[in-house]
A = this chain, B = another copy of it.
Amino acid sequence: MTQAVRHDAMRARNLALVLGEVGAREPVTRAALSEITGLTKTTVSKLVADLIEAGLVVETGAVRDGERGRPGVAVRISGEHVAAAGLEINVDYLAVRVVDLSRSVRLRRTQAVDNRSARPGDVAARLRDMALTAVDEAVENGLRVVGGVVAVPGPVDLSTGTLHNAPNLGWRDVPVPSLLELPFPVRVENEANLAALGELWFGPGPSDFLHVSGEIGVGAGLVVGGRLFRGTHGFAGELGHVVVSPDGPACRCGGNGCLEQYAGRDALLSAAGPTGRPTAAAGPAGRPTEYTRATGSHPTAGGMASLASLVSRLEAGDTGALAACERAGWALGVALSSAINLVDPGTIVLGGIYAPLFPWLGDVVAGTLASRLGRMRATVPPVVVSRLGSEAAALGAAGQVIQRVIADPAASLQA
């Protein structure tokens, strides 16, 4: 059930409503906000004044849009005070992103590390260092980091932040927030879910889609009506173990013929045949390389090297590589057709390793969907590529903090 509504809750909701509309249509004048929300001009003015005082909103000066009458003073979300940290623990790298309230990315740090062999405490310490230097830099720019979210490759208990198990890291029941000990509240969430939210808040697309995160495993995050669907225990979106063929190759989950056995990173690479740089010969784990990049595909650490070589073989027209992609695309299409029948997403967004492979996968996936769904549905969901690639999860993590502030400005208005 919902909570009781007192006067303070009424005000809190209206603050959230106004701030949300500012974010959705900035720059907007108070008059326009009054018309959009249905609140009176008086009320909107008072709410906006509070938001300005809290540093969440700023005036951008008068707007003269050729209309008659006194010009309004537009406001927009302020990116100058409040910021959020998006952290990511992945198999091959650690990442930190600092995003301000206006969703501008203020800082990017990625460190290539092979975390497969590492202990949770050591990884957390390294990520903590990265986060703290990032926070320092943010503070120098006048920003206050009000919270952080950590993206991890496995299911999470949302209330405690415990990572239940991450098979590709070899971790079990890791209490991530207490290991990090950061000077702001930290939540933890599955990377596939966060990648979907990253696509929602930082991508160009719609607000109804299934985002597929191709990594070693294959995860998916479903966003409907701008909200993430988590399922009963928060384990929804395990696309990697959807059945492609019930008598297919055995999977580590105990089943047979799961999608992961056809389109997971390792399955894809080994199906493509021998490659120049095999997975085992990945870079040294001890000495991480630090660097910053603007956008595009991710660094070559661990098996990533093989992915890069797979792409170059595909570009060269290598038949083995092409066949492997075709098979993976077909399997993805089969699994996605089940997913579409079950959860009815508006669009399919292919991310993770499928982003760089999209030129060789996309059409096969779309074709498989069309042949399996076309006769039932008036429209088959379009298959598009993620523009964020592997940055999606860390951005989604930061975005989740931003979203909380925007959804409940009254809470952060006191602090």
Q: Does A263 contact B (CB under 8 A)?
A: no
Does A232 contact B208, Cβ atoms closer than 8 Å?
yes
Q: Does A264 contact B (CB under 8 A)?
A: no
Complex-state Cα separation, A6 to B38, whole angstroms:
10
With A208-B232, A345-B232 known to touch, is A376 a contact of B245 (CB < 8 Å)? Answer: no
Which residues of chain B are within 8 angstroms of A10 by Cβ–Cβ distance?
5-7, 9-10
**Closest approach, in angstroms, between the C-beta of A159 and any C-beta of chain B?**
15
By beta carbon, the residue of chain B nearest A207 is B232
- Contact code string A346-375 (vs B, CB < 8 Å = 1, else 0): 100000000000000000000000011111
Q: Does A132 contact B (CB under 8 A)?
A: no
Which residues of chain B are within 8 angstroms of A335 by Cβ–Cβ distance?
243, 338
With A4-B14, A4-B38, A4-B39 known to touch, is A344 a contact of B376 (CB < 8 Å)? Answer: no
**Closest approach, in angstroms, between the C-beta of A230 and any C-beta of chain B?**
7
Does B334 contact A243, Cβ atoms closer than 8 Å?
yes
With A224-B231, A373-B253 known to touch, is A20 a contact of B39 (CB < 8 Å)? Answer: no
With A208-B232, A231-B224, A235-B377 known to touch, is A372 a contact of B254 (CB < 8 Å)? Answer: yes
Does A346 contact B233, Cβ atoms closer than 8 Å?
yes
Which residues of chain B are within 8 angstroms of A245 by Cβ–Cβ distance?
245-247
Q: Does A24 contact B (CB under 8 A)?
A: yes
Q: Does A242 contact B (CB under 8 A)?
A: yes
Q: What is the count of identical protomers in the complex?
A: 2
Which residues of chain B are within 8 angstroms of A6 by Cβ–Cβ distance?
10
**Closest approach, in angstroms, between the C-beta of A241 and any C-beta of chain B?**
5
Interface size on A, residues (CB 8 A): 67
Which residues of chain B are within 8 angstroms of A238 by Cβ–Cβ distance?
341-342, 344, 376
With A343-B231, A345-B232 known to touch, is A337 a contact of B255 (CB < 8 Å)? Answer: yes
Which residues of chain B are within 8 angstroms of A88 by Cβ–Cβ distance?
none
Complex-state Cα separation, A253 to B369, whole angstroms:
12
By beta carbon, the residue of chain B nearest A374 is B254
Which residues of chain B are within 8 angstroms of A146 by Cβ–Cβ distance?
none
- Contact code string A217-256 (vs B, CB < 8 Å = 1, else 0): 0001000110001111111111111111111000011111
| Interface core residue of A3, A39, A225, A337 (most chain B CB under 10 Å) | A337
Which residues of chain B are within 8 angstroms of A233 by Cβ–Cβ distance?
344, 346
Q: Does A298 contact B (CB under 8 A)?
A: no
**Closest approach, in angstroms, between the C-beta of A333 and any C-beta of chain B?**
9
13 more contacts with CB within 8 A, not counting A4-B14, A5-B17, A245-B247, are A5-B5, A231-B343, A232-B344, A235-B344, A241-B337, A242-B342, A243-B244, A243-B334, A254-B373, A254-B375, A254-B376, A335-B338, A338-B342
23 pairs, A vs B, C-beta closer than 8 Å: A1-B24, A2-B13, A2-B16, A2-B17, A4-B13, A4-B17, A5-B5, A5-B13, A5-B14, A7-B10, A10-B10, A224-B229, A233-B344, A235-B377, A238-B342, A238-B344, A241-B338, A241-B341, A243-B244, A243-B334, A254-B371, A255-B372, A338-B338
User: Which A residues form the contact surface with B (CB < 8 A)?
Assistant: 1-7, 9-10, 13-14, 16-17, 20-21, 24, 37-39, 164, 208, 220, 224-225, 229-247, 252-256, 334-335, 337-339, 341-346, 371-378
Closest 5 CB pairs of A and B: A231-B344, A254-B375, A255-B372, A238-B341, A232-B346
